[in-house]
């Protein structure tokens, strides 16, 4: 049975699926896809955007298909695309209406359904007190309807994506499993078992969430469950509602990159609240960066048996002043200057200072004797995994004033750093550790992706009491510092600014998403620690922004509904008034501060 090797890359074996002329899974490369944000019924605009995505590098293009009219429009788009000589497969995105899936499966190469709403809102009278018999009876109703779609897909050689979203689990699943990764897995496995029983193998799976931890844990859990039941379907990876600009790129790098680094994933979609063409270069860079790490010298380490890949648990450390223990992870900046978000420490030649200009020395491993003689309350010791000998472990366990700056010169540096953490835990060594990485990038996007992958795959595991991000290229110190804090926020290790959970937009979007996101960001970015969801429609509405404190959701053309947590507090507000109404709502609930306070 295949299992994740936390230290050495090995790709998860999957079956090969055919989507039109595109092969996915097996030994095929990781495929790149995207989704249009045009109105599917605007055939010319949708066709042109699809062509732009194909030229940008999309190997599969998805369209929202909320009704039969959209299904017929997608058929016309498909036919026009083929007449122009393009063979790129198209996928229909279906929510709520199983009848639409039946129709459009006859027209395109792939159909995506969401188990949480495949049968719409007609879920029966399921409650938390219902018996196993009632729960099973509802499953039989789902199975009967789903088999009808599978038969259509078989007839037309149409592939299927079973796409589970964290925020849209069915009432039936929620009542039994709650809003959990386990619930996401069971929702998917029910449909996969039906596929197995019906001998339908042309299936791709996705498990998506806006929370990177939930996304990673649910995918890992699903992979283990599939291995147990001998299922080997290809996996589609994505962080839904990742946002835009640096936030969207960093969250995608953390979530998608962590799993790709573990050999999981056969196709990816980077969801940005931008023009969909902007998603393709990010996806390509992510895959390319992981490919660089695949063939490397083996990392020989013993996995800590108490560490679970299915839940977040921060590694136990003792505190050295404000580092480690229950303190949030610190940020060490390469230079001392004024930053929008103030770092905790700064490098200054071979020492580290804080905002009070207190100086703390940095030592090499061969300088342990000098370290013990220094009276400083914090001593920083540079180390790498090969230096973690029994002698040095004994030394670290005896020190309560030392903090490790963990470096790596291995081709797969974060995997080697992960081995360092597992080795510390195996020896019950609680020394705090700062994770350090250095780059030579001149493009901000490249640094966001690479650092997001490398640091992200450690901090999602609860490893790291601080981050030291250096770059020798032309990127400003302010941006580097912003990326460091952005990685900690994307991994939920330290919240330092407003988090925006915004969908990428599609044909269902009820307003100009990019403009609205920009307006809301300009007014609320100073609200530290608040999560604001910005969703184009109810399909990507309150369920998909399950973690948000406040929600701004398209309710109809020119109309917006506002949410506090999962409760709708005001419906059908004219769009021109909605941003101010959102700010009023934040103020009424006591979460507003003025920008200069």
Residue-level pLDDT at 236: 98
Closest of 220, 238, 186 to residue 461, by C-alpha: 220
Burial class (CB in 10 A: 0-12, 13-18, 19+), 560: buried
The arrangement of strands across the sheet holding 559-564 comes to: 499-502, 531-535, 550-556, 559-564, 567-574
Q: Give dist(CA 134, CA 124) in Å, integer.
A: 10
Residue-level pLDDT at 123: 42
What the block records as the tokens of 91 is: 């996928």
Residue-level pLDDT at 539: 61
pTM greater than 0.85:
yes
Residue-level pLDDT at 77: 98
Under a CB-based contact definition with an 8 Å cutoff, are residues 524 and 494 in contact?
Answer: no
| Three-class HEC string of 45-83 | HHHHHHHHHHHHCCCEEEEECCCHHHHHHHHHHHHHHHH
DSSP assignment letter at 330: E
Listed in sequence order, the residues at least 6 apart from 349 whose beta carbon sits closer than 8 Å to its beta carbon are none
Residue-level pLDDT at 150: 97
Residue-level pLDDT at 527: 83
What stretches in the chain show pLDDT beneath 50?
121-128
Closest of 509, 587, 490 to residue 547, by C-alpha: 490
405 has which bridge partners? 382, 434
Listed in sequence order, the residues at least 6 apart from 225 whose beta carbon sits closer than 8 Å to its beta carbon are 185, 189
What the block records as the tokens of 363 is: 């030592």
Residue-level pLDDT at 570: 86
Residue-level pLDDT at 545: 64
Closest of 310, 334, 330 to residue 320, by C-alpha: 330
Residue-level pLDDT at 510: 65
User: Each residue of 351-410: pLDDT tens digit?
Assistant: 999 989 999 999 999 999 999 999 999 999 999 999 999 999 999 999 999 999 999 999
Residue-level pLDDT at 556: 77
């Amino acid at each position: 049975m295949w299992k994740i090797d936390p230290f050495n890359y090995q790709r998860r074996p999957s079956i090969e699926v055919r989507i039109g002329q595109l092969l996915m899974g097996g030994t095929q490369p990781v495929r790149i896809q995207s989704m249009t944000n045009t109105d599917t019924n605007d055939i010319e605009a949708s066709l042109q955007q699809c062509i732009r995505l194909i030229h940008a590098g999309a190997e599969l293009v998805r369209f929202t298909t909320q009704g039969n009219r959209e299904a017929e429009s997608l058929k016309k788009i498909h036919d026009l695309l083929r007449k122009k000589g393009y063979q790129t497969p198209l996928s229909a995105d279906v929510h709520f209406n199983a009848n639409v899936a039946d129709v459009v499966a006859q027209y395109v190469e792939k159909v995506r359904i969401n188990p949480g709403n495949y049968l719409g809102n007609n879920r029966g009278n399921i409650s938390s007190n219902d018996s196993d018999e009632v729960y099973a009876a509802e499953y039989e109703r789902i199975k009967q309807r789903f088999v009808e779609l599978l038969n259509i897909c078989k007839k037309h050689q149409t592939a299927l994506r079973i796409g589970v979203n964290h925020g849209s689990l069915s009432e039936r699943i929620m009542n039994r499993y709650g809003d959990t990764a386990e619930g996401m897995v069971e929702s998917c496995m029910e449909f996969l078992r039906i596929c197995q029983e019906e001998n339908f193998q042309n299936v791709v799976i996705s498990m998506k969430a806006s929370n990177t931890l939930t996304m990673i844990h649910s995918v890992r859990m699903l992979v283990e469950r599939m291995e147990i039941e001998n299922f080997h379907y290809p996996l589609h990876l994505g962080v839904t509602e990742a946002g835009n600009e640096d936030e969207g790129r960093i969250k995608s790098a953390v979530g998608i990159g962590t799993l790709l680094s573990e050999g999981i994933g056969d196709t990816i979609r980077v969801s940005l609240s931008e023009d969909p063409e902007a998603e393709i270069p990010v996806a390509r860079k992510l895959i390319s960066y992981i490919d660089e790490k695949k063939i490397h010298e083996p990392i020989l380490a013993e996995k800590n048996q108490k560490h679970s890949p299915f839940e977040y648990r921060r590694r136990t450390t003792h505190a050295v002043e404000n580092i480690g223990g229950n303190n949030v992870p610190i940020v060490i900046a390469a230079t001392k200057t004024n930053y929008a978000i103030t770092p905790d420490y700064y490098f200054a030649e071979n020492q580290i200072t804080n905002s009070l200009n207190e100086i703390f020395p940095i030592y090499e491993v061969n300088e342990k004797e000098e370290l013990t003689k220094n009276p400083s309350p914090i001593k920083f010791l540079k180390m790498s995994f090969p230096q973690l000998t029994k002698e040095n472990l004994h030394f670290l366990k005896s020190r309560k004033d030392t903090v490790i700056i963990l470096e790596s010169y291995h081709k797969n540096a974060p995997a080697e750093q992960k081995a360092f953490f597992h080795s510390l835990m195996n020896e019950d060594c609680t020394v705090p550790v700062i994770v350090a990485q250095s780059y030579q990038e001149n493009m901000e996007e490249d640094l966001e992706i690479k650092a997001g992958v490398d640091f992200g795959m450690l901090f999602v595991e609860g490893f790291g009491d601080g981050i030291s991000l250096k770059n020798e290229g032309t990127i400003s110190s302010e941006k580097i510092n912003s990326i460091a804090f952005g990685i900690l926020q994307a991994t939920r290790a330290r919240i330092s600014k407003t988090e925006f959970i915004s969908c990428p937009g599609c044909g269902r979007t009820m307003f100009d998403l990019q403009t609205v996101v920009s307006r809301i960001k300009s007014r609320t970015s100073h609200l530290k620690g608040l999560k604001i969801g910005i969703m184009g429609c109810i399909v990507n509405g309150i369920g998909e922004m399950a973690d948000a404190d406040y929600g701004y959701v398209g309710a109809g053309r020119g109309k917006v509904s506002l949410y506090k947590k999962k409760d709708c507090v005001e419906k059908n507000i004219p769009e021109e008034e909605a941003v101010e109404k959102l700010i009023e709502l934040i103020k009424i609930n006591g979460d507003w501060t003025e920008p200069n306070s």
